[in-house]
Amino acid sequence: MLQFIDFTPLRRGVLVALVLLLAGCTIAKPRTDDPWEKFNRKVYRFNDKVDRAVIRPTAVAYRKVTSPNARRVLSNFFHNVRMPITIANDALQGEIKDALKGTGRFVINSTVGFLGFFDPASKMHLPPRETDFAATLAKWGVAEGPYLVLPLIGSTTVRDVWRMPVDGRLFDPMGYYARTHDYELGRQHWPSMMFLVTIRASAIDAENLVEGAFDPYVFYRDAYRQRRLYTIYDGNPPFEAIQQLQGVDEEDIDALLEEQDAWDKKQEDGKQH
């Protein structure tokens, strides 16, 4: 749903000024607290109901009418279309070499790869890479801020929420297409909707992990933070950052394991009856 929110326009000059004024180039350390947990849990329950009623059934239907190969080809296309987001933010982060590699990947897949439906760039040693404006803010020292769950959008943080208006308005071709076209039935938004369906469909295979979690809300929160941490540190976060993200000591870990064991036992007893 990210592409359909009409955020206040941000001029490129304001964006550049913001980045230049950010203090330092050290990656901001993650936060481990969740001060808005009460609000977040309410929104999480709302999102879960919407997902079960509308979004997941749509994703399941999509999987039923498409083959794995067709889904892979379509996923390639959407990831290629969104490649300018990564290229622009690599440049803003000062990663010029990565920005050039991303540009090469985008050009190759858009031409030889038939608009990105195929991925010859990976075979040419230009593997996929993903970053965004929130990672750019982190690289420039902006703290993560509290964890936040938004209606229909899901997990984010006070820092990460800025990638929606900035990337969506300045760097995302699908966002630009939706803003500059006006078709009947809102067809200008269909590409973005289809992209979201492909993302939800790809997550169905991992649903067993969530079903086995003692607290699905905590599972999603921690999984989101871990994924963002790996994005910010290019897949190689330092041990200190991982420790701070977890925010637990050995006694806390033992208590969590005991809770998980009790939950698993309860689930098994329920299946037997």
Q: What is the pLDDT of residues 222-257, one digit of tens each?
A: 889 988 988 888 888 887 777 777 655 444 445 555
Identity of the amino acid at 192: S
Cα-Cα-Cα-Cα dihedral sign, residues 210, 213, 214, 219: negative
Residue 114 DSSP SS3: coil
State how far the Cα of 168 lies from the Cα of 171, in Å rounded to an integer. Answer: 6
Q: Nearest CA to 244 among 9, 28, 25, 11?
A: 28
Q: Radius of gyration (Cα) for the chain, nearest Å?
A: 20
Distance CA 181, CA 177 (A): 6
d(CA 4, CA 240) in angstroms, rounded, equals 37
Of residues 103, 96, 161, the one with CA closest to residue 132: 161
Q: What is the DSSP letter of 95?
A: -
| Most confident stretch, 33-47, 221-235, 256-270 | 33-47
The vertex-195 CA angle with 189 and 201, nearest 5°, equals 135
Averaged over 39-50, what is the pLDDT? 96
Confidence of residue 107 (pLDDT cuts 50, 70, 90): very high
pLDDT by residue (tens digit) across 127-185? 999 999 999 999 999 998 999 999 999 999 999 999 999 999 999 999 999 998 899 98
How many Cβ atoms are within 10 Å of 147's Cβ, its own excluded? 24
Residue 234 gets which letter from DSSP? T
Q: Quick count: other Cβ atoms within 10 Å of Cβ 173?
A: 14
> Which of the four pLDDT bands, split at 50, 70 and 90, describes residue 30?
low
Mark residue 183 as left, alpha or beta (left: phi above 0; alpha: psi -120 to 50; beta: remaining).
beta
Question: Stretch 24-43: mean pLDDT, rounded?
Answer: 77
What are the distances in angstroms from CA 158 to CA 68, 144, 163, 179, 253? Answer: 36, 6, 10, 25, 27
Q: Which residues contact 80 (CB under 8 A, 6 or more apart)?
A: 106, 109, 110, 113, 115, 116, 119
Is the pLDDT at 18 greater than 90? The verdict is: no
Mean pLDDT over all residues of the chain?
Answer: 83
Amino acid identity, residue 195? F
DSSP of 121-189: HHHTT-------HHHHHHHTT----SEEEETTTEEEETTGGGHHHHIIIII-HHHHHHHH---GGGGGG
Which is more confident, 55 or 23? Answer: 55
* 18-27, 77-86, 143-152, range with the lowest pLDDT: 18-27
* Token pair for 228: 């963002």
